[in-house]
């Protein structure tokens, strides 16, 4: 079968690779239909690494995808050939202390699609996954929406499980790419948060956030967003979701949070270390919460879309597998108003 693989920094080639085979009674063979290009994929594409995870070439990335069941192992009873599914890219062991504590996202033995030394990614025609990672999607949901389930599940995990936000509270979102928008949608459409302030250095992105529920949005390169937001919320914000991985955004978050506020860090920095003004964090008694992927929120994300919440506006570009390099180059350069680029596997 064909697969798109990294062969060097900013180099992708489409090559022939061996067909996957079912090796477990509880696995399924999937036809890969749609693959989303994630910011973490772009780190591997542009830098060859995230933190201590270094790519060894050639390597296949990709973890946001929807697919169609082709074959099931004899131990699978809840899925059948022809079922269309959204896929949780994290394969946890179910036995370690983290899994037993309900923290499969920090499983000691986790295997994640498209991560070096873990699992090869989904930028290919067919793939084998555990049936437990597959969530059926309704007939009315498109396969492109199915691929958006993964980033949406990250946003829903952050907002619904980790934040503790309540109606009447206020929030900021710094970075309005797919993850920032995936934070915004459940905040306004499910949790009833009316005062959500958003920022992005790309005008089209922060305006998209305003169109879909943010009460205010701005470009931090053109507007002092801390000053503007605090003018509207003099006491400060209850929480800020940092979704771009930039030091300056973290600094802005500390300034705009009220005492006792919470900073949720979802963005992946390009640098190995970040810093905080400890005097301000200490005096405000701020809570710093890292967000690790999407523990148990793939099915709720499917249900959120099935309920009629629009996520399709995030999809701005679609490419073929042969054009994977163009897709990654577009996202890496933030060109042509890109929000989410999808790769269609025919």
If you average pLDDT over residues 18-42, what whole number do you get?
A: 96
The predicted pLDDT at position 235 comes to 98
The predicted pLDDT at position 270 comes to 84
| Token pair recorded at residue 320 | 């073929």
The conformation of residue 20, written as its DSSP 8-state character, comes to P
How wide is the angle at C-alpha 38 spanned by C-alphas 47 and 16, nearest 5°? Answer: 80
pLDDT tier at 264, thresholds 50, 70, 90:
very high
Q: How many CB atoms lie within 10 A of CB 103?
A: 16
> Residues 275-306, buried b or exposed e (16+ Cβ, 10 A)?
ebeeeeeeebebeebebebbbebbebbbebbe
Average pLDDT, the chain: 97
The predicted pLDDT at position 52 comes to 87
The predicted pLDDT at position 6 comes to 97
212 pLDDT higher than 90:
yes
Q: Starting from the edge strand earliest in sequence, which strands make up the sheet with 287-290, in order?
A: 216-218, 195-199, 170-174, 237-242, 257-265, 287-290
If you average pLDDT over residues 53-57, what whole number do you get?
A: 94
Per residue in 125-148, pLDDT (tens digit) is 999 999 999 999 999 999 999 999
The predicted pLDDT at position 102 comes to 96
The predicted pLDDT at position 262 comes to 98
Strands 84-87 and 287-290: unpaired
pLDDT tier at 149, thresholds 50, 70, 90:
very high
| Residue 317 vs residue 272, higher pLDDT | 317
| Token pair recorded at residue 101 | 């504590």
């Amino acid at each position: 079968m064909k697969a798109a693989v990294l062969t060097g920094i900013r180099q992708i080639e489409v090559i022939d690779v061996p067909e996957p085979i079912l090796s477990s009674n509880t696995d399924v063979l999937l036809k890969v239909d749609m693959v989303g290009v994630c910011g973490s994929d772009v780190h591997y594409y542009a830098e060859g690494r995230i933190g201590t995870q270094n790519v060894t070439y050639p390597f296949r990335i990709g973890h946001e995808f929807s697919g169609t069941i082709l074959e099931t192992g004899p131990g699978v009873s809840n899925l059948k050939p022809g079922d269309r599914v959204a896929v949780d890219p994290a394969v946890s062991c179910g036995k370690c202390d983290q899994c037993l504590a309900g923290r499969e996202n920090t499983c000691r033995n986790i295997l994640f699609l498209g991560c070096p030394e873990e699992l090869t990614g989904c930028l290919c025609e067919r793939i084998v996954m555990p049936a437990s990672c597959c969530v059926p999607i309704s007939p009315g949901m498109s396969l492109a929406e199915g691929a958006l389930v993964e980033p949406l599940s990250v946003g829903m995990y952050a907002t619904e499980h980790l934040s503790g936000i309540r109606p009447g509270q206020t929030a900021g979102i710094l970075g309005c790419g797919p993850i920032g928008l995936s934070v915004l949608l459940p905040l306004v459409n499910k949790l009833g948060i009316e005062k959500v302030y958003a920022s992005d250095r790309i005008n089209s992105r922060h305006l998209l956030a305003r169109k879909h529920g943010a009460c205010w949005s701005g470009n931090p390169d053109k507007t002092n967003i801390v000053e503007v937001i605090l003018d509207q919320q003099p006491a400060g914000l209850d929480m800020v979701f940092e979704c771009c991985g930039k030091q300056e955004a973290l600094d802005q978050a500390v300034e705009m949070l009220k005492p006792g506020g919470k900073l949720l860090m979802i963005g992946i920095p390009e640098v190995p270390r970040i810093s905080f003004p400890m005097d301000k964090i200490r005096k405000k008694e701020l809570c710093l919460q890292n967000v690790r992927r999407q523990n148990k929120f793939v099915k709720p994300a499917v249900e959120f879309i099935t309920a009629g919440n629009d996520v399709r506006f995030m999809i701005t570009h679609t490419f073929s597998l042969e054009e994977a390099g163009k897709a990654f180059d577009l996202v890496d350069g933030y060109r042509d108003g890109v929000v989410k680029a999808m790769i269609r596997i025919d």
